[in-house]
Amino acid sequence: MDLTNLKYLVVGSGFFGSVIAERIAQDKNEPVVVIDKRSHLGGNCFSQIDEETGIEFHKYGTHIFHTSNERVLKYIKRFTALNSYRHQVLTVYRDRVYQMPINLETINSFYGLNLRPSVLITCRWAAISAGAATSTGYFSAAASG
């Protein structure tokens, strides 16, 4: 490849390099060459389908795309489809598995209770913080309520 008169050479086809190259090509309407030492695009965000199971996985560790910016999301969706991955963290304590971060299910599993979301709306946590109730009082009241 002759790069003699090339104005833009992007090294690395990860998120950064890919976006820069696309912007140069689209906004400036200029030729741009992207090179990468890896055999694929996407840098550390690269994912592929496992041939045996058909499950998509991230080669360099799980990547979750976060944004609250509608413009960014719209931009990304022009180039890829996002799957409906749901993130769940679990932890093990004394040979039992619990959900993290701590939520109602964690409390139920840990204390052997069956609290429902509606019960917690009583805002007893605020009372506990203010010293108006103990955690034991909270749990027994909630369990019976």
Ligand X SMILES: Cc1cc2nc3c(=O)[nH]c(=O)nc-3n(C[C@H](O)[C@H](O)[C@H](O)COP(=O)(O)OP(=O)(O)OC[C@H]3O[C@@H](n4cnc5c(N)ncnc54)[C@H](O)[C@@H]3O)c2cc1C
Indicate the residue type of 11: V
- Residues 91/98, Cβ–Cβ less than 8 Å: yes
Compute the distance between CA of residue 84 and CA of residue 70 in angstroms, rounded to an integer. 17
Compute the distance between CA of residue 134 and CA of residue 124 in angstroms, rounded to an integer. 9
CB of 81 to ligand X, least distance (A): 17
The binding track of 2-21 with respect to ligand X, each residue x by CB under 6 A or -, is ---------xxxxxxx----
Q: What 3-state DSSP class applies to 11?
A: strand
CB nearer ligand X, residue 17 or residue 124:
17
The binding track of 60-99 with respect to ligand X, each residue x by CB under 6 A or -, is xx-xx-x---------------------------------
Compute the distance between CA of residue 10 and CA of residue 16 in angstroms, rounded to an integer. 10
Binding segment toward ligand X, per CB under 6 A, in 32-40, 70-78, 88-96, 136-144: 32-40
Compute the distance between CA of residue 89 and CA of residue 39 in angstroms, rounded to an integer. 32
Choice from 8, 24, 32, 38 touching ligand X (CB under 6 A): 38
Choice from 8, 32, 43, 141 touching ligand X (CB under 6 A): 43
Binding segment toward ligand X, per CB under 6 A, in 43-51, 68-76, 100-108, 126-134: 43-51
